[in-house]
Amino acid sequence: MLTHRNLVANTLQCAAWVAPFYDENAGVVITPLPIYHVYSLTANVLCFLEVGAHNVLITDPRDLPALVKLFRRTRVAYMTAVNTLFNALLNTPGFADLDFSALRVCMGGGMAVQRDVAERWQKVT
């Protein structure tokens, strides 16, 4: 069971992990995962709220062309996703042509990120 105490402890742990990588001027946090899931709630909302980040909620991450357009016009510095979303973005036209110079941290959760997907993601971004 997730108690309030569990969420607070996990938020503080996550914020301590993110702190060395976090810079408020680096860009925004992209939240393409539903915040009713504890991974996104903790990693995106609570953790980045704790450090004072600007969080952009993606209401329909299945609309990959719209997500690519958002990346094109937004300095994305931090992002969480699941393996299937990382893989889908890698296969979306125009994604590989984006400027990823602001991207600092991408976290995979909810399931393991497959090695092939992780290696391709790192190469592209």
Model pLDDT, residue 61? 93
Model pLDDT, residue 2? 82
d(CA 65, CA 84): 16
Model pLDDT, residue 122? 96
Q: Which residue has the tokens 């938020």?
A: 11
pTM over 0.75: yes
d(CA 102, CA 8): 29
Domains of the chain: 4-124 (3.40.50.980)
Model pLDDT, residue 17? 87
What's the maximum distance between 2 C-alpha atoms anywhere in the chain? 43
d(CA 19, CA 17): 6
Model pLDDT, residue 24? 80
- pLDDT by 10s per residue, the chain, length 125: 789 999 999 999 988 988 888 888 888 999 999 999 888 999 889 998 888 899 999 999 999 999 999 999 999 999 999 999 999 999 999 999 999 999 998 999 888 999 999 999 999 99
Model pLDDT, residue 109? 85
d(CA 72, CA 51): 25
Model pLDDT, residue 55? 93
d(CA 103, CA 85): 17
Question: Of 92, 91, 49, whose CA–CA distance to 69 is shortest?
Answer: 92
